[in-house]
Amino acid sequence: MKQKLKYFMSRFKERDIIFISYILIFFGLIILFSASKGVITKESFFIKQILWVLIGTIFVYIFRNGDYRSLEKWSYLFYFITIFLLIIVLFKGEGRASRWIGLGWFYFQPSEFAKLVIILALSSFLSNKNIRRFPILFISLIIVGIPFLLVFKQPNLGTAIIFIFIFLGISYIAGITRAQLISLFLFAIFVSPLIWTVMKDYQKERILVFLNPMRDPLGKGYNILQSKITIGSGGLIGKGFMKGTQTKLAFLPEYHTDFIFCLIAEEFGFIGVVIFILLYFYFLDKILEIISISKTEFGKYVACGIFVMFAGHFLINLGMTLGIFPIVGIPLPFISYGGSSLIVSLLCVIILSSIEKYSTLF
């Protein structure tokens, strides 16, 4: 027992990326158990999430010794398959936010996988190329632009924003110049009025309400307000595990997915929040380390893309629950309920682990 504990501590100190991510997953499961109100049935998302964790663990087991460099060859194939799936979703999808594809008993979101696939494709394209050359930058923009438009049309604003983050992160690490960034930024400003007209009304509303949430306390600003109440009422030490009233009585919708952070804040208070954020930062910092030690450009870019993806999710998710950013539907990786997101996150972690391994092997 003591030995085991020692082993875990050393794994934690060594910052084994897979180990840290499992700590986060475990943390997430505890929160989801509370969110399930302790009721464990086949239908509860706590049980479902455990199933997803098991499936993800099988992936981890299969690919634990894989070489990330083989992905470079496959990345374009993955890319085109994903584009194809995104188009299918656009036409076949059901409901207002048509993001899912049904495969028998489970549904998955191609847009979640698209994040990883874009990272791979962009990294693969940019490795050993000079992004400062205009054609290269232009093609990079197209590689991200196509899935961006498809996802934006779904409409899935959150994922689309993550795509932008991924592009910026990878191109930044690949050495994009300040002049290029500024011109891209100016271009975006020029295009944004166009995007505004394409946006769905509810998306526009969200951004408008963000600017003044109290203007409609029961309408569009409801989520922001309820989220703030939930977090604020946690206080220093929280209401205690399983004792949250806001989330339990479902005043906050989607408290088990996009607003899961509120539950942490409500039940574990400010202290719990700080511990959680530090843990997450520990995880992100590890990825930064992997970026710097990676021996190949492809590995560096992929690691950076993954870092930006996790950091983007983390910051935007917390930012929106805290009322710093507008509400865009973005889950908190490892913590929020959701199979596609969890599997993709675990795949990313496997890739990172592989990059780390092959960078020290030489």
Q: Is 214 in the site for other proteins (CB under 8 A)?
A: no
Applying CB under 8 A, which part among 64-72, 132-140, 181-189, 316-324 lies near other proteins? 316-324
Q: Is 38 in the site for other proteins (CB under 8 A)?
A: no
Number of residues that bind other proteins (CB under 8 A): 44
Q: Residue 333 in contact with residue 197, Cβ under 8 Å?
A: no
Q: Is 284 in the site for other proteins (CB under 8 A)?
A: yes
Which residue number, 150 or 287, has a Cβ lying nearer to other proteins? 287
Q: Which segments of the chain does DSSP mark as H helices, in order?
A: 2-14, 17-35, 45-63, 71-92, 110-126, 134-153, 157-173, 178-198, 201-211, 222-232, 260-293, 297-321, 339-361
Q: Residue 166 in contact with residue 118, Cβ under 8 Å?
A: yes
Per-residue CA distances from 232 to 24, 218, 229, 277, 362 (Å): 23, 19, 5, 17, 50
- As a whole number of angstroms, the distance between CA 217 and CA 226 comes to 9
Applying CB under 8 A, which part among 108-116, 117-125, 274-282, 345-353 lies near other proteins? 274-282
167-186 positions binding other proteins, by CB under 8 A: 169, 172-173, 175
Which residue number, 85 or 131, has a Cβ lying nearer to other proteins? 131
Q: Is 279 in the site for other proteins (CB under 8 A)?
A: no
Binder among 25, 121, 126, 291 for other proteins (CB under 8 A): 291
Q: Is 242 in the site for other proteins (CB under 8 A)?
A: no
Q: Is 330 in the site for other proteins (CB under 8 A)?
A: no
Q: How far is CA 242 from the centre of its chain?
A: 26
Which residue number, 90 or 180, has a Cβ lying nearer to other proteins? 180
Binder among 17, 150, 273, 302 for other proteins (CB under 8 A): 273
- As a whole number of angstroms, the distance between CA 133 and CA 129 comes to 9
Burial of 67 (0-12, 13-18, 19+ CB in 10 A): exposed
Q: Is 250 in the site for other proteins (CB under 8 A)?
A: yes
- As a whole number of angstroms, the distance between CA 341 and CA 331 comes to 8
- Residue 288 neighbours by CB under 8 Å, 6+ apart: 307
Q: Is 235 in the site for other proteins (CB under 8 A)?
A: yes
- Closest distance of CB 361 from other proteins, Å: 21
- Closest distance of CB 171 from other proteins, Å: 11
Binding site for other proteins (CB under 8 A): 169, 172-173, 175, 217-218, 226, 228-236, 245-246, 249-251, 253, 265, 269-270, 273-274, 277, 281, 284-285, 288, 291-292, 304, 307-308, 311, 315, 318-319, 322-324
